[in-house]
């Protein structure tokens, strides 16, 4: 091949999905035909011609908003007041309550071993 001749080797690119898109396991109820899934992709081989036409129109809709879009803020976040503790305040690690039992409807939720 020409790539081998010039010392290059192909690599995997996330924009090419020749076997379709897999639903994220964290979002089992999310529709795979969501245009936000397809926004960053270049090739997907699991759509029919009418689906490609529909997806093209959905992706080029000026009203499309995806949660991954970065919206610049007017001003960066800043804490109000001082961020450092006064010199007379001691920081301690909170201790768990002694002999605390959580009960839910008369049944122990957490059991001590």
Residue 17 lies in a domain: yes
Residue range 69-88, pLDDT digits in tens: 455 656 666 666 655 555 55
**Whole-model pTM?**
0.39
82, part of any domain? no
Residue ranges making up the domain that contains 46: 2-59
| Model confidence band, residue 66 (pLDDT cutoffs 50, 70, 90) | confident
Domain contains 54: yes
Tell whether 36 is covered by a domain. Answer: yes
- Residue 2: its pLDDT value, please? 80
Which residues lie below 8 Å from residue 36, measured CB to CB, with a gap of 6+? 64, 66, 67, 68
Q: What pLDDT is attached to residue 37? A: 74
Q: Report the number of distinct structural domains present in the chain.
A: 1
For residue 65, being part of any structural domain is answered with no
Q: Tell me, yes or no, whether 74 lies in a domain.
A: no
> Which residues, in sequence order, are CB contacts of 22 under 8 Å at separation 6+?
none
Banded pLDDT at 35 (limits 50, 70, 90): confident
């Amino acid at each position: 091949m020409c790539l081998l001749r010039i010392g290059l080797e192909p690599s995997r690119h996330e924009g090419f999905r020749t076997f379709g898109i897999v639903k994220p396991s964290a979002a089992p109820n999310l529709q795979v035909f969501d245009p936000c899934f397809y926004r960053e992709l270049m090739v997907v081989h699991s759509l029919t011609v009418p689906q490609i036409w529909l997806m093209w129109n959905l992706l080029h809709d000026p009203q499309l908003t995806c949660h991954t879009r970065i919206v610049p803020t007017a001003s960066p976040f800043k804490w109000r007041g001082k961020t450092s503790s006064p010199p007379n305040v001691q920081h301690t690690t909170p201790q768990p309550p002694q002999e605390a039992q959580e009960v839910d409807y008369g049944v122990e939720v957490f059991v001590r071993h």
